[in-house]
Amino acid sequence: MLQNNKAVRDEKVIDFTLANSNNLLLIFTRNPELGKGKRRLAATVGDQAAFDIYKFLLDHTVAITKNLYAEKEVYYSEEIWENDIWDNQKFGKKLQVGKDLGIRMANAFQEGFKNEYQKIIIIGSDMLDLSQEDLEEAFKALEKNDFVVGPAEDGGYYLLGMKKFLPALFKNKTWGTETVLKDTLADLKNETTTLLETRNDVDYYEDIKDNDAFAPFLKHIKL
């Protein structure tokens, strides 16, 4: 079969191997709309800048995931957009279901395991401080551990991965607060878990004001 002919590396073969990967990457994203999303950031930089920054972060997320050796599914917050930055040939498209973030994530993981994926990782779509190599490292961590967590500086996490479903991870959390990581690690105290490097996500002006990558979006700020 194809795996015996390693010299053949054209795009069709690569797509074939991706489609048959046991790794699944879930990407949770908010449909980008002016005046919605990144509200804490918008409070300082304004709606248009917050919107442009979010689209910039979405483009980065596409760049670091499109060539990842994994099946990839984008979970939209509001509605599925067929013609957008997420290439239909590389990304499956689904809708988040559930009344809070925990239920929505739990449903996505459970569907992935039901479809017989063995290692499943979830990320958001607004992390500039994340690379394809980080995602590869996370999947590798699941070879020897049942869980992997990427801690965020604000007390949450930017990545969660697992080889088995643990319902407690998605319950009794105050989502979006500094207690999420602590409560999640408490749920994992009896499980084999790898912690990745702590990274900074983008929620507030202070998260980006000293990062040159965001300078083009902040020229209007006079603080």
Answer yes or no: is pLDDT of 221 > 80: no
pLDDT tens per residue, range 16-38: 444 457 999 999 999 988 888 88
Average pLDDT over residues 25-54: 90
When pLDDT is averaged across residues 181-200 and rounded to a whole number, the result is: 96
The answer on pLDDT for 14 being more than 70 is no
Which DSSP helix (H) or strand (E) runs through 120? strand 119-123
Pairing mode, strands 157-162 and 147-151: antiparallel
Q: Rounded distance, CA 75 to CA 79, Å?
A: 9
Q: Say whether pLDDT at 211 is over 50.
A: yes
| Structure confidence by residue, pLDDT tens digits, 154-174 | 999 999 999 999 999 999 999
Residue 8 has pLDDT above 90, yes or no: no
pLDDT digits (tens, 9 = 90+) for 98-134: 999 999 999 999 999 999 999 999 999 989 999 999 9
* H helical segments located in 11-163: 11-19, 39-45, 47-65, 101-114, 132-141
β-bridge partners, 92: 73
pLDDT averaged over every residue in the chain? 89
Please name the amino acid found at residue 57: L
pLDDT value at residue 17: 46
Query: What confidence category does residue 223 fall into, taking pLDDT thresholds of 50, 70 and 90?
Result: low
